[in-house]
Amino acid sequence: MNIQIRYFTKSRKGNTKKIADTLSSNLKIESHSINSNLKEEVDILFLLNAMYANNIDKKVANFISTNKDKIKLLVNICTSCSGRSTYSRIKKCAIENKVNIATEDKVIIGQWLFFNKNRPNEKDLSLAVNFAKEIINKYSK
C-alpha cells in the first residue's frame, strides 16, 4: 500500500510542518511539501494544510487538481488557531476534481501570534498520529 504525507504551510511558526514531521517519524513515511507533484499513484494521501483567510490556499487546490489522477483516497488534516476545519473546502475541491475523500478529518490546534501558545503540543501531535493510524487501519483492509 502506497501511503504518502504532503503538507502546505506559509506560517512562520511551522505548525503544519511540525505535524507532518511527527507523522513522518511515527509512521515511517517521508513527508514532502506540496511543491512537488506525486510521482505515482497513492492509495492514501494525508494532506496537511491550514485555514488562510477563511479558505484553503490556492496552492492546495492546485495540488489536488494537478494530482487528481494519482490520488485514490485523500485524507484532510489541518491546523487551525480557531479550531475550524478546512474539510468542507478540501471536500469541495476533491469533488470538483473527482478525487475520493475520506469522511473523517482532523483539526489540530496551532499557535498564531499570541493565541494558543505552545500549540501544537505533545498531546496534539499524539492525536494526529493516532488519527492517521486509525485511517490506515480502516482503509488498508
pLDDT tens digit string along 29-55? 999 999 999 999 999 999 999 877 777
Q: What pLDDT score does 140 carry?
A: 87
State which residues form the domain around 77: 3-139
Phi/psi of residue 129, nearest 5 degrees: -65, -45
Q: Which of 53, 106, 57 is nearest to 78 (CA)?
A: 106
Contact predicate 43/73, CB 8 Å: yes
Q: Which stretch of DSSP H or E encloses residue 19?
A: helix 15-27
Domain count, the chain: 1
Q: What pLDDT score does 10 carry?
A: 80
Q: What is the mean predicted confidence (pLDDT) over 11-21?
A: 85
CATH number at residue 28: 3.40.50.360
Band the pLDDT of 13: cuts 50, 70, 90: low
